[in-house]
Amino acid sequence: MQRKKKATPKKRREAFVYPEDIDQWLSDLIDIGENVVLAYEGYLLDQVDHVQLSRAMQKLRANLPMKTRKPRFFEKDSESK
């Protein structure tokens, strides 16, 4: 009888590292946030497709101190059940 191979755990994403220049990071974050809002408004008006909106959202996510891919509200809801 052969043993089944154990599934290898997925690599955890590395923790977010805050940049040394916090003021510049916040300025960039505000610019990226404004870009996401404009992209979403364009998406609602059918001026921007979902791919362009997704790129803007991914850039925002990359600059936020998020540790997991699951939304935070999802984790809170699953803990309360």
Whether 75 and 67 have beta carbons less than 8 Å apart is answered as no
- Cα–Cα distance for residue pair 26/4, rounded to 1 Å: 49
DSSP H helices in the chain? 22-44, 50-62, 72-80
Which 8-state DSSP code applies to residue 29? Answer: H
Amino acid at 32: I
Question: Helix crossing, 50-62 with 22-44: angle to 10°?
Answer: 160
Q: What is the pLDDT of residue 3?
A: 60
Q: What is the pLDDT of residue 20?
A: 87
- Is the pTM of the predicted complex or chain greater than 0.75? no
Q: What is the pLDDT of residue 73?
A: 63
- Interval 46-75: pLDDT, tens: 999 999 999 999 999 888 887 655 655 655
- Interval 13-39: pLDDT, tens: 556 778 888 899 999 999 999 999 999
